[in-house]
């Protein structure tokens, strides 16, 4: 065996070569191996016929590229980059092209032949795939590593920078995986959940804190601690078979510092480079501030998100195409139903418009909402700016993102439940936040929430007051928009983001050695079970009553710390909700709401199932939500 062939075998055994799904290559003596091609494969019949291949291998740039005759596919040329280890190959795949394998030849002194696979699409004809996300859904957000360990064989990943588990550390892997989530599909369905949002499942081969998923090291691979690519495809398929949708969490703005694209950069202009590490200012208002400092604007959008999160230069057309293709690839490959876009506001604005258009042109039914996290003082207008809205373009930017993660409503609700009531304070803040819905193209596409993996758990924010948490949950499941529940809120999981990150603790019962199992009624404390049943009852009611999914919202100016609103539809269904944010009970005359109560003579309390025959007044206990179905 020649030295070159021996070297190729050793590289293959070391795992630093082709992904398992890639086609084989044939290399002549002395020819460097191709380590990978991104995208790893593609499909015929995509709306955009252009395909950009990023080919990586030591010394590859010295090669010439040729394409063997393949009907419907043409080679548009290739491009060398600053690094000697990359080539960009451009193809056009006409609508007449059929599935098969393209023969690409890379020729220097010797030649390497690579069989690149074109597959048949499955999403256009399979109604179970890419179902979309809407206000009819109830999303359950979980961190795969912290939810349940269903497959102990992936607990130890040889060669990984953090190969094993350490459940006593909040920054290490704990062992949760895709199989663990799937093992509890029945739990989620029984709770009333219709869609699962795992934090990113792509490879995060980082030495520390890779469990959270937001420092990706391979755009085209599932994290091996969770499973393989094929496992994820099956996971989505099995979820669909069980009536559950899947939301794929995507990161556009940054990557992990152990991503091969950062370790061996195609070119300096693929990333925003500063002389020394410069942390961003996290001020998305610099994008549309008419008085902004140029330096502040630059620091917001061109710095590393954190010390281990490089910032791709999305204004570079090659980088933009690489990212757009990747996120088209995941939809077609898996059939996921929606995208949650991490740190949406940090990306290059022009890129955001092009990325959103490309994704929705190909998959108009895909649900999509973005993290538009901002400070409470910034308000509804700033949040609406980052979604489809009624505003004219600002600095050439007009967002095409369908919905936002509604931080403004969360801030307002928490103020209503924790601060003194006043004319414009307390629950009045929630009224004003909802009043701002006029700025959105469609506020019902916003995702509303009480807590998530980045903010303090709501039970702790509310001083561990069960009454307040129930009221917050009643709001979540009756307000306009798409409700999202953070894992464990239904069983009173608590804690704060600082100083130790305990808001990301393991779900009790997700590991065989756990002393308690909150997945079962027998494993919950009475208080946990009571909260679980409260969520289940309301979520089930919402699931079977479209008026809470798509009904119009009419709300009334809060009075004396009581906020009242109705969801109603043209079929004559109305649900009345009253939030009493006071430490004492309130008796409220109902004649003020006559415009919505007209024609109704009674009600049924959705939570207690008691029949209400007198619609003259309503007495609402302290820190309680009243939910009535009018009759």
Tell me the pLDDT tens digit for each residue of 513-522: 999 999 999 9
Q: Sign of torsion, CA 193 199 203 207?
A: negative
Identified catalytic residue from 137, 371, 415, 479: 371
Q: Sign of torsion, CA 179 180 186 189?
A: negative
pLDDT for the residue 498: 86
Helix (H) or strand (E) holding 117: strand 111-119
pLDDT for the residue 7: 35
* Per-residue tokens: 108: 């220097």
Catalytic residue check, 342: yes
Among candidate residues 60, 96, 90, 56, the one with its CA nearest the CA of residue 76: 90
Ranges under pLDDT 70 in the chain: 1-32
167 burial type by CB count under 10 A (0-12 exposed, 13-18 middle, 19+ buried): middle
CA–CA separation, 483 and 488 (whole Å):
15
Domains of the chain from N-terminus onward = 3-119 (2.60.40.10), 551-630 (2.60.40.1180)
CA–CA separation, 190 and 318 (whole Å):
46
CA–CA separation, 213 and 203 (whole Å):
7
Contact 360, 400 (CB under 8 A): yes
Contact 81, 59 (CB under 8 A): no
Q: Which residues pair with residue 624 across a beta bridge? A: 580
pLDDT for the residue 627: 98
Among candidate residues 631, 39, 7, 28, the one with its CA nearest the CA of residue 326: 39
* E strand intervals along 487-593: 552-559, 562-568, 574-580, 586-589
pTM score, whole prediction: 0.94
Among candidate residues 246, 102, 226, 248, the one with its CA nearest the CA of residue 155: 226
Q: What are phi and psi of 209, to 5 degrees?
A: 60, 25
Identified catalytic residue from 177, 311, 342, 415: 342
Among candidate residues 58, 580, 28, 90, the one with its CA nearest the CA of residue 321: 90
Catalytic residue check, 306: no
CA–CA separation, 99 and 105 (whole Å):
19
pLDDT for the residue 32: 55
Residues whose CB falls within 8 Å of the CB of residue 236, separated by 6 or more in sequence, listed in order: 129, 246, 334, 335, 336
CA–CA separation, 497 and 506 (whole Å):
14
State the DSSP code for 316: S
pLDDT for the residue 110: 76
* Per-residue tokens: 14: 């070391």
Render 187-198 in DSSP notation, one character per residue. HHHHHT--EEEE
* Per-residue tokens: 420: 């003194």
Q: Which residues pair with residue 440 across a beta bridge? A: 389
Among candidate residues 547, 556, 543, the one with its CA nearest the CA of residue 434: 556
pLDDT for the residue 323: 98
Residues whose CB falls within 8 Å of the CB of residue 507, separated by 6 or more in sequence, listed in order: 142, 146, 147, 148, 487, 488, 493, 518, 519
Omega within 30 of 0 (cis) for the link into 616: no
* Per-residue tokens: 608: 């207690």
């Amino acid at each position: 065996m020649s030295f070159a062939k021996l070297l190729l075998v050793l590289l293959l055994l070391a795992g630093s070569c082709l992904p398992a799904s890639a086609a084989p290559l044939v290399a002549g003596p002395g020819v460097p191996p191709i380590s990978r091609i991104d995208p790893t494969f593609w499909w015929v019949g995509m709306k955009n016929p252009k395909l950009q291949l990023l080919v990586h291998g030591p010394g590859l740039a010295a090669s010439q590229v040729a394409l063997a005759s393949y009907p419907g596919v043409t080679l548009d040329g290739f491009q060398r980059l600053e690094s000697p280890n990359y080539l960009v190959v451009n193809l056009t795949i006409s609508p007449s092209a059929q599935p098969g394998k393209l023969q690409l030849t890379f020729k220097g002194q010797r030649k390497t032949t690579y069989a690149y696979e074109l597959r048949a699409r499955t999403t256009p004809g399979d109604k179970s795939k890419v179902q979309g996300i809407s206000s009819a859904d109830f999303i359950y957000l979980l961190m795969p590593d912290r939810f349940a360990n269903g497959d102990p064989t992936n607990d130890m990943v040889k060669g990984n920078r953090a190969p094993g588990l350490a459940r006593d550390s909040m920054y290490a892997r704990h062992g949760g995986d895709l199989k663990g989530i799937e093992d509890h599909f029945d739990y989620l369905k029984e709770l009333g959940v219709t869609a699962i949002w795992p934090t990113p499942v792509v490879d995060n081969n980082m030495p520390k804190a890779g469990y959270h998923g937001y420092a990706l090291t391979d755009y085209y691979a599932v994290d091996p601690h969770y499973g393989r690519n094929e496992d994820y495809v099956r996971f989505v398929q099995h979820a669909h078979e069980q009536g559950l949708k899947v939301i794929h969490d995507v990161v556009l703005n940054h990557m992990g510092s152990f991503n091969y694209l950062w370790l061996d950069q195609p070119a300096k202009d693929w990333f925003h480079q500063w002389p020394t590490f410069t942390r961003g200012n996290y001020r998305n208002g610099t994008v549309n501030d008419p008085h902004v400092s140029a330096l502040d604007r630059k620091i917001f959008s061109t710095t590393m998100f954190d010390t281990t999160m490089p910032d791709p230069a999305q204004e570079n057309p090659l980088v933009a195409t690489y990212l757009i293709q990747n996120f088209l690839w995941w939809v077609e490959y898996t059939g996921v139903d929606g995208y949650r876009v991490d740190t949406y506001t940090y990306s290059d604005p022009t890129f955001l418009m092009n990325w959103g258009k490309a994704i929705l042109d190909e998959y108009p039914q895909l649900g999509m909402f973005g993290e538009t996290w901002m400070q409470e003082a910034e308000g509804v207008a700033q949040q609406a700016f980052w979604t489809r809205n009624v505003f004219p373009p600002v600095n050439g930017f007009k967002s095409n993102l369908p919905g936002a993660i509604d931080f403004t409503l969360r801030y307002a609700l928490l103020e209503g439940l924790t601060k003194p009531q006043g004319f414009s304070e307390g629950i009045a803040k929630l009224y004003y936040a909802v009043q701002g819905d006029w700025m959105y193209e469609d506020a019902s596409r916003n995702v509303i929430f009480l807590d998530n993996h980045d903010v303090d758990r709501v039970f702790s924010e509310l001083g561990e007051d069960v009454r307040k948490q129930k009221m917050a949950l009643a709001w979540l499941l009756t307000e306009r928009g798409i409700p999202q529940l953070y894992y464990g809120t239904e069983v009173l999981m608590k804690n704060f983001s600082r100083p130790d990150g305990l808001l990301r603790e393991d779900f009790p019962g997700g590991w065989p050695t756990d002393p308690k199992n909150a997945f079962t009624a027998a494993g919950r404390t009475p208080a946990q079970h009571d909260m679980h049943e409260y969520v289940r009852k309301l979520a089930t009611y919402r699931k079977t009553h479209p008026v809470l999914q798509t009904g119009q919202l009419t709300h009334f100016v809060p009075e004396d710390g009581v906020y009242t609103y109705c969801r109603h539809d043209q079929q004559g269904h109305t649900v009345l909700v009253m939030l009493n944010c006071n430490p004492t009970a309130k008796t409220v005359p109902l004649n003020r709401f006559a415009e919505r109560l007209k024609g109704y003579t009674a009600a049924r309390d959705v939570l207690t199932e008691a029949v209400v025959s007198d619609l003259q007044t309503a007495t609402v206990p302290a820190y309680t939500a009243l939910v009535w179905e009018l009759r």
